[in-house]
Amino acid sequence: MKVNGKPVSAQIEARTLLVTLIRENLRLTGTHVGCDTAQCGACTVLMNGRAIKSCSIVAMQAEGADILTIEGVARPDGTLHPMQQAFKENHGLQCGFCTPGMVMNALDFAKSHPDPSEHDVRESLEGNLCRCTGYHNIVKSIMAGAKAMGGKI
Amino acid sequence: MNAPLIGARIQRKEDYRFLTGTAQYTDDVALPGQAYAVFVRSPHAHASIRSISLDKAKKAPGVVGAFTGADLAAAKVGGLPCGWLITDVNGQPMKEPPHPPLAQGKVRHVGDHVAVVIAETPEQARDAAEMVEVDYQVLPAVTDAAKARAKGAPALHDVAPDNTCYIWALGDKSAVDGAFAKAAHVTKLEFVNNRLVPNAIEPRAANALHSRADGAYTLYVANQNPHVERLLMTAFVLGLPENKVRVVAPDVGGGFGSKIYLYAEDVVVTWAAKQLNRPVKWTADRSEAFLSDAHGRDHVTTAELALDRDGKFLAMRVKTTANLGAYLSTFASCVPTILYATLLAGQYTTPLIYCEVTAVFTNTTPVDAYRGAGRPEATYVVERLVETAAREMKIDPAEIRRRNFIRQFPYQTPVALQYDTGNYEATLSAALELGDVKNFRSRKEESAKRGKLRGIGYSCYIEACGIAPSAVAGSLGARAGLFEAGEIRVHPTGTVTVFTGSHAHGQGHETTFAQVVADRLGLSIEQVDIVHGDTSKILFGMGTYGSRSIAVGGTAIVKALDKIIAKGKKIAAHLMEAAEADIEYDKGMFKVAGTDKKKAFGEVAFAAYVPHNYPLDKLEPGLNENAFYDPSNFTFPAGSYVCEVEVDKETGATQIVRFTAVDDFGKVINPMIVEGQVHGGLAQGIGQALTEACRYDDSGQLVTGSFVDYSIPRAGDVPYFHIDTRETPCTHNPLGVKGCGEAGAIGAPPAVINAITDAIGVRDLAMPATAQTVWRAMQKRI
């Protein structure tokens, strides 16, 4: 499979979750684990362009897939992606732990919602928990980020 | 560069690493050769342990070590200490039962630590942990605070056969009783302040290293106060020399109080790292977090307010039973006493207050400070009583508050605190305006047309923050100082590194503190870096909790800055051949008053490190200063919240349709960050009021032990927040700041419940007001 555009391979136990492969084998620790019931969304990555919870599939299911993690979102020169920039400008993060999952989920959402309403954004966050921000500024960030993206990642 | 930085909406310096996946939380730390620990936890709420066999586990693939409480006892590892001594009504010290890191013969709550298994991989450790054989003799359990002291209730600890840690009181009972006897009206409420599970999204984690080369330990741990963690662990539990232990709290993914404490896991992995001569890592899963992170709240209270016929408050009488859980957590004892009863005056001139608190042990996870800690419970008592009294006496709820507001400062309350400043009329008026309260009636009619019941509720909270004046805290039982330390290191070229004992786990100190320093020194914010969270870098620190960072930690930094500027003036006077008394410092320049002579900050710094032209006979080279600051009083943030809800008549489902918060935090350094703190606090307060139910069954099983069963608010559960601030600067710190971290969690719950009870026309309602709770309340009413 490819992760952030680079081909990767690893010898793993059959029960290894995708998130474990990403964090432990590939040492891409920006993808986080916040729960054990697929509720919090901190582990969200894009698989073939769709947001998925990487704690909810075993790594072997992703064989051959194209995975994008938070480490692959900024431009190669380090410039923040418009969605990341929107989170920064709107103070859409505090402790930062849920943030990668929020950004990854928002990227998928914004592809099909270039100018979302507050209500749409709140609905899109059903699967992502944040304990710091009260969601207020996350919602603002995603509305601004989606506009800036214009429907394209 | 010279635009004022205090009060500016500066975007956060720390955001880049969080947005790009390059932050480093404890679980991201990988030490060479690390082994993985899994804790064997009690499946029973209360049981004697007849035997534990590690034999099979030790032979399992990959296992490198397995230990029980017997191993720790043999190594003379002590119990986890409590940092606050409460003295009971009879002058006796509270009961302090042993709190062993791994069980000694008995377990007292589901999730209690029984053994640890350490293996080459997390999977191997988990598999082997399941092979540990424990023979339990299950005992009856008690989980409900109200039943812990009942006759025949099972006793948890030998030292407290009646499960009572202490009975404590504050105030003049006979004077209060006398006032009640003469009152024109008495409002009485009985309620539960619901137990909450903090649930920072980063689970706790620890990774410990021991080096035989120098006998030194390094512990990476998700913690809010690394120096306190080190002090408690070295001095009281492991008996290690403090200079041989480094504690690093790197990026920490939220705390809300739950990462203040010294936990069993931290101690065990540190101890085991030496036994096994390799790093030992432990990361909680969410289920473990539910069972082992200290919980919050859990009070059962009877509260009464006596009023005269004009609605003037005459006295308040409060009786609370506080559930401490199975053991005394690090600061558990001060939460339902010192941080609770002292806040019962609220924003009002109530002249007489009596509060009695009975603190009990139960077969539940230990309870300690959670965002607000005692102050939300006090605010709930006061603001539910006040609103209910207003309705009973047919006085407008805003008006009854105005009749009783404290308007003269400083104000000595009857419950020990002295408020330095405030303007409660200003925040209330602003909240009524911003909340468009005058048009509420028409909104209510509009809702009714859609079949919805609309209600409005107020809450005027106060909190004591900037914790704490050490001498006052000490006289009340604190076993630690509560100052803060800061260090300003000016580099030879004039850039600055600041070392602070405060710890950020979402609060944005790297930006806010840099604003303070850059503003004072006339530098750009990019020239100032903030370092925190590592005992090997920072001289000392008491950490971050109780909305204390800017008021106490920020002031320590300001005091160190004053020393930097004072020394800089001496150097500048020498360089410009002027009298020290004639040197002024302004916007990054040392100037000779009344002349155009000046030296830039960087030139003075350079002279301090390259002292070729320097008064070496009178002054040391270098430009580096420390300060410790111990506050002279608490700070008193306060505010007014207005909540509007719509309740569905058929289902009881409640939606917050408008929420207004106007807070007075004194001077605001970064409004963007302060707003974020308010939003987060409000969401947690709304969670307590509407969604968060922590439930044990009668056998002591936690039946709400995951995010599936325990509902922290999601984006759709909270409204758009309308917020603003008013400002009365704190009178006793140089920044005029009060702190903002806990306000929302303190003020929101009574506003929400006051709104729902208004909407459905009931006198009281239990939290969390889930659809089922509200629906049932409506059926009873009908």
pLDDT of A21-77, one tens digit each? Answer: 999 999 999 999 999 999 999 999 999 999 999 999 999 999 999 999 999 999 999
Whether the Cβ atoms of residue B64 and residue B271 lie closer than 8 Å to each other: no
Residue of chain B minimizing CA distance to A36? B286
β partners of residue B499: B487, B531
pLDDT of B473-513, one tens digit each? Answer: 999 999 999 999 999 999 999 999 999 999 999 999 999 99
Percent of chain B with pLDDT over 70: 99
Q: Does the beta-carbon distance from B254 to A37 stay under 8 Å? A: no
Indicate the SS3 state at residue B711.
coil
pLDDT of residue A153: 87
pLDDT of B208-249, one tens digit each? Answer: 999 999 999 999 999 999 999 999 999 999 999 999 999 999
Neighbours of B280 (CB within 10 A): 27
Q: Which of B123, B199, B716 sits opposite A13 (nearest CB)?
A: B123
- The single-letter DSSP state of residue B309 is T
Give contacts of B22 with chain A, Cβ < 8 Å. 30, 71
Q: Does the beta-carbon distance from B254 to A126 stay under 8 Å? A: no
Say how far apart CA A21 and CA A9 lie, in whole Å.
10
Q: Which of B19, B25, B123 sits opposite A97 (nearest CB)?
A: B25
Q: How confident is the model at residue A15 (pLDDT cuts 50, 70, 90)?
A: very high
Alpha-helical segments (H) within B183-319: 226-231, 264-276, 286-292
pLDDT of B407-424, one tens digit each? Answer: 999 999 999 999 999 999
Whether the Cβ atoms of residue B119 and residue B35 lie closer than 8 Å to each other: yes
Say how far apart CA B765 and CA B354 lie, in whole Å.
24
Its sign, for the CA torsion A51, A52, A55, A58, is negative
- Asked if B683 reaches chain A (Cβ–Cβ under 8 Å), the answer is yes
Residues in chain B: 782
Neighbours of B587 (CB within 10 A): 12
pLDDT of residue B2: 58
| Residue B782 predicted with pLDDT over 80 | no
Say how far apart CA B468 and CA B484 lie, in whole Å.
10
- The single-letter DSSP state of residue B522 is T
Indicate the SS3 state at residue B81.
coil
pLDDT of residue B109: 98
pLDDT of residue B780: 85
Q: How far is CA B512 from the centre of its chain?
A: 19
Give contacts of A100 with chain B, Cβ < 8 Å. 21
Q: Report which secondary-structure segment, H or E, holds B426.
A: helix B424-434
Give contacts of A135 with chain B, Cβ < 8 Å. 679, 683, 713-715, 718
3-state helix, strand, coil in chain A (%, to 5): 40, 10, 50
Q: Report CA dihedral (B777, B440, B672, A99) to the nearest 10 degrees.
A: 40
Biggest CA-to-CA distance, chain A: 44
> What tokens were used for B107?
């377990």
Q: How far is CA B98 from the centre of its chain?
A: 25
pLDDT of B602-643, one tens digit each? Answer: 999 999 999 999 999 999 999 999 999 999 999 999 999 999
Whether the Cβ atoms of residue A102 and residue A139 lie closer than 8 Å to each other: no
Say how far apart CA B54 and CA B103 lie, in whole Å.
14
Say how far apart CA B306 and CA B414 lie, in whole Å.
15
Whether the Cβ atoms of residue B499 and residue B489 lie closer than 8 Å to each other: yes
- Asked if B61 reaches chain A (Cβ–Cβ under 8 Å), the answer is no
Neighbours of B732 (CB within 10 A): 18
Cβ contacts of B433 within 8 Å, gap of 6 or more: none
Whether the Cβ atoms of residue B639 and residue B744 lie closer than 8 Å to each other: no
Q: What is the rounded average pLDDT of the residues B195-206?
A: 98
Q: What is the rounded average pLDDT of the residues B729-739?
A: 98
Give contacts of B708 with chain A, Cβ < 8 Å. 37, 39
- Asked if B324 reaches chain A (Cβ–Cβ under 8 Å), the answer is no
Residue listed under structure tokens 């929101």: B748
Q: What is the rounded average pLDDT of the residues B343-371?
A: 98
Q: What is the rounded average pLDDT of the residues B647-665?
A: 97
Residue listed under structure tokens 């930006």: B511
| Residue B548 predicted with pLDDT over 80 | yes
pLDDT of residue B1: 46
Residue of chain B minimizing CA distance to A86? B19
Cα–Cα distances in angstroms (integers) from residue B734 to residues B491, B552, B670, B731, in the given order: 25, 10, 16, 8
Q: Report which secondary-structure segment, H or E, holds B779.
A: helix B771-781
Say how far apart CA B729 and CA B742 lie, in whole Å.
18
- Asked if A152 reaches chain B (Cβ–Cβ under 8 Å), the answer is no
Q: Which of B11, B22, B680 sits opposite A94 (nearest CB)?
A: B680
| Residue B3 predicted with pLDDT over 80 | no
pLDDT of A99-136, one tens digit each? Answer: 999 999 999 999 999 999 999 999 999 999 999 999 99
Q: What is the rounded average pLDDT of the residues B17-35?
A: 98
pLDDT of B239-298, one tens digit each? Answer: 999 999 999 999 999 999 999 999 999 999 999 999 999 999 999 999 999 999 999 999
Give contacts of A33 with chain B, Cβ < 8 Å. 27, 203, 285
Whether the Cβ atoms of residue B754 and residue B457 lie closer than 8 Å to each other: yes
Percent of chain B with pLDDT over 90: 99
Give contacts of A88 with chain B, Cβ < 8 Å. 11-12, 15-16, 19
Q: Does the beta-carbon distance from A80 to B16 stay under 8 Å? A: yes
Averaged pLDDT score across all residues of chain B:
97
Say how far apart CA B460 and CA B470 lie, in whole Å.
28
pLDDT of B87-135, one tens digit each? Answer: 999 999 999 999 999 999 999 999 999 999 999 999 999 999 999 999 9
> What tokens were used for A6?
């680079």
